[in-house]
Structure 1
Amino acid sequence: MPEEVLFETENTQSRTEIARYLRAVADKLDGGDAVTLKAGNQSVTLDPPTNPVFEVKAERETSSSGSSELSVEFELEWKEGDSGGDGGGGSLEIE
């Protein structure tokens, strides 16, 4: 399936700044509101359904030189016009 990037930004932030962004998204989700992302001249508003699929992934990428990069990704997924479904896969716990 072809991918169309609607919005993308990447820059170095402090842990505190990242937490502020995540809290703002969490508050929008908790309130049932749409989420608007803005950076420079880019802007997109998304309105996740009540039950989107929530994917959490931790990865280690190792380059050919042997250095590695760690990442954690949080992703909400849903089909356009879908009200959400059962993501399966068991309960997520964050400690």
Structure 2
Amino acid sequence: MPEDVLFEFERPMGRTEIADYLRTVADRLEAGDELAMEGGGESVSLSPPATPTFEVKAERETSSKGGPGELSVEFELEWDEREDGKEGDEGGLSIE
């Protein structure tokens, strides 16, 4: 399925600032509020359903020149635009 990027923002920032953004997202999700994002001249508002799919991914990208690679952790919420989320439990997640 083709991908249409609605919003993208990337810049280096400190751990505390990142934690503040993640905390805001967590608070808005818990309250059932929409997520409004604005940055770099772009903006988008999304309303996640009560049970979106949550994906956590840790990756290592290796350098093509044999040097050090890049590590990343990605958090993603995903849902079908036509549905209000899906019920189900395919196993648990622990983040420590």
The answer on whether the counterparts of 2:59 and 2:72 sit within 8 Å (CA) in structure 1 is yes
Q: 1 CA distance for matches of 2:88 and 2:53?
A: 5
Aligned partner of 2:81: which letter?
Answer: E
State the 4+ residue runs in structure 1 displaced beyond 3 angstroms: 86-89
5+ residue gaps, structure 2, are: none
5+ residue gaps, structure 1, are: none
The answer on whether the counterparts of 1:52 and 1:85 sit within 8 Å (CA) in structure 2 is yes
Aligned to 2:25: 25
RMSD over aligned CA atoms reads 1.2
Q: 2 CA distance for matches of 1:57 and 1:87?
A: 20
Task: Check 1:43–1:93 CA distance in 2 against 1; reply closer, same or farther (3 A cut).
Answer: same
Q: 1 CA distance for matches of 2:34 and 2:28?
A: 7
The answer on whether the counterparts of 1:59 and 1:70 sit within 8 Å (CA) in structure 2 is yes
- Secondary structure at the residue paired with 1:54? strand
Matched, 1:56 2:61: no
- Secondary structure at the residue paired with 1:92? coil
CA deviations on 1:25-72 (whole Å, 9 max, x unpaired) are: 000000000000000321100000000000000000101222211000
Aligned partner of 2:86: which letter?
Answer: G
TM superposition score normalised by structure 1: 0.94
Shift of 1:82: 1.0
Aligned partner of 2:19: which letter?
Answer: A
